[in-house]
Structure 1
Amino acid sequence: MLFSSGDFSFLLTLSSLVSVFSFLMVALKIEAGRSCKGVSLRMMECYLAIFFFRLCAIVPFEGYLPFDKSGDWFYQTCEALGFCLAGTMVYFCRMRYAATYDPDTDNFQHHWLALGAAGLALIFHPNLNNFLPSDTSWAFAVYLESVAVLCQLFMFMKEGQAAPHTSHFLAAQALSKIMSFIFWASSFNELSTNPNHTIKAFVGNWVVCTQLVQLCVMGDFIYHYIRCIRQGIPVSQLLCSDNV
């Protein structure tokens, strides 16, 4: 309400704000408990790359910014804070509280996710900035973000339990992506800048579909998360056989 001019595009900024608060929650939990237990370093490394490449697209250019006044500086600030928080948690896991981090349960090959996202970004990318590296960076961030949570979900499966703070983090990320999905689904035609091109005519559809992929990937987790909340079951028991 403070930084928006009432335009629908503020939904994109609100999505970023929810995401940033979820990162802040996990960072504070790690610092308070002096433990990285239950946090996927590989997911945080993915998000570090996501925020970095998205900033490369929205700081020097305006093509992917919200249309309202939150796009003047507030949206970029939220993304920059997300980048700093993701970097802080990578530092916590790799250095400050490295003794509490268990790499044996966090072994999802996230570099394949990054390579796949990079390949897709080179082929399917919008052209709102009219600058190939920037447009590709934005698409890469979107595609990698759609699958980054797999690292945390696989870690949950390995451990056989879900850490409460990372469960709440994933729930907040799902809410954030629902908002982002609604925004881009309503304006995806702007992403398809060349309707006569065999590939570029469907870039907008592809971007929206990849965001929908993340919601589908998280669908089962969110169903059981909501079920635990409604029934008063601790979310740490979310993966127990009685609840799944």
Structure 2
Amino acid sequence: MKGAKTPIHSVAIWVRRQPPKVKAFLAVVSGIAALVFLRLVVHDHDNLFVAAEAVHALGIAVLIFKLTKEKTCAGLSLKSQELTAIFLAVRLYCSFVMEFDIHTLLDSATLVTTLWVIYMIRFTLKSSYMDDKDNFKSYYVLLPCAVLSLLIHPTTQHHIVNRILWAFCVYLEAVSVLPQLRVMQNTKIVEPFTAHYVFALGVARFLSCAHWILQVLDTHGRLLTTLGYGLWPSMVLLSEIVQTFILADFCYYYVKSLVGGQLVLRLPSGVV
């Protein structure tokens, strides 16, 4: 059993010893390899977006299990949950008025469960909430997202207010996890259920990003023109890429911890 783990541990040790530039290069190569794999395996790339929302819902289910069974919200960021609820509510509104489909139903279910998590943290399990660790200022992301959505938004035929709101939820989704990462940065130790939840967010972000990239490749760039003109199509792709890379470092240490058989994830200084 020990011998079977040796190759994996050897690779992990080798990667850990590499300089930051080499690690970044390996991460990009791994991402490209994963995209190629998904393109070969998944025929309808729209399913990737549905899968992303399903994985997000699974992450929420992990949180609900933690809150109901362990009776504690320690390590969770209330601010991240509130930002998530905001962008889901805005996206749900836009989905109702602009296009009603399966994503509308998935967003509805995710919003309801997110609101329940917020209720549990604020009231039922308030005594275990780490208010001093959850010190990221929400307006640091809300204000820039609002200003950016006023400047760069879709150029479709929909009402201007709806287009601005659509842009706002895209930008806010990309950075909504930052308060949760700050909590983990402050504590340095991440218990299993919180780690599972954040890893699920990372997987969901990657699947969503892969959906957009593969759709652009499949349509030979025509998808970008359907989103409008100007900077908006590029900002959509950039937002997807940003939210993927925000969680990439954490996901690396999560997988490393999982392979090493560690139940509690310990983050080194500088991560997230």
Taking structure 2 as the reference length, the TM-score comes to 0.76
**Shift in Å at residue 233 of structure 1?**
2.0
Matched with 1:58 is: 95
Matched with 1:176 is: 204
The answer (yes or no) to whether the contact 2:53–2:106 under 8 Å persists in 1 is yes
**Shift in Å at residue 116 of structure 1?**
1.0
Matched with 2:140 is: 112
Amino acid at match of 1:239: L
In the alignment, structure 1 residue 133 sits paired with structure 2 residue 161: yes
Measure, in 1, the Cα distance between the counterparts of 2:49 and 2:122.
31
Measure, in 2, the Cα distance between the counterparts of 1:129 and 1:26.
39
Measure, in 1, the Cα distance between the counterparts of 2:199 and 2:257.
12
> 1:22 is matched with which residue: 59, 64, 73?
59
**Shift in Å at residue 216 of structure 1?**
1.6
The answer (yes or no) to whether the contact 1:61–1:129 under 8 Å persists in 2 is no
| Deviation readout 1:172-230 (Å, 9 max, x if unpaired) | 11111111112222245145413xxxxxx221111111221112221211111111112
Measure, in 1, the Cα distance between the counterparts of 2:202 and 2:267.
18
Sequence identity percentage:
24
| Deviation readout 1:106-157 (Å, 9 max, x if unpaired) | 0101122111111111111123461222222222111111111111111011
Matched with 2:261 is: 232
> 1:95 is matched with which residue: 123, 127, 133?
123
**Shift in Å at residue 95 of structure 1?**
0.9
Measure, in 2, the Cα distance between the counterparts of 1:128 and 1:15.
25
In the alignment, structure 1 residue 36 sits paired with structure 2 residue 73: yes
Matched with 2:252 is: 223
Measure, in 1, the Cα distance between the counterparts of 2:157 and 2:124.
39
Measure, in 2, the Cα distance between the counterparts of 1:125 and 1:12.
21
Matched with 2:7 is: none
> 2:243 is matched with which residue: 214, 218, 223?
214
| Deviation readout 1:25-70 (Å, 9 max, x if unpaired) | 10121111111111100100000101101001111222xx7xxxxx
CA RMSD of aligned residues (A): 2.1
Q: Point out where structure 1 has 5 or more consecutive residues left out of the alignment.
A: 1-5, 66-70, 195-200
In the alignment, structure 1 residue 153 sits paired with structure 2 residue 181: yes
Instruction: Report the structure number with the largest CA radius of gyration.
Output: 2
> 1:189 is matched with which residue: 210, 220, 224?
224
Q: Point out where structure 2 has 5 or more consecutive residues left out of the alignment.
A: 1-42, 217-222
Measure, in 2, the Cα distance between the counterparts of 1:29 and 1:190.
43
Measure, in 2, the Cα distance between the counterparts of 1:175 and 1:143.
18
The answer (yes or no) to whether the contact 2:146–2:168 under 8 Å persists in 1 is yes
In the alignment, structure 1 residue 205 sits paired with structure 2 residue 234: yes
The answer (yes or no) to whether the contact 1:18–1:173 under 8 Å persists in 2 is yes
Matched with 1:3 is: none
Amino acid at match of 2:196: H
The answer (yes or no) to whether the contact 1:161–1:240 under 8 Å persists in 2 is no
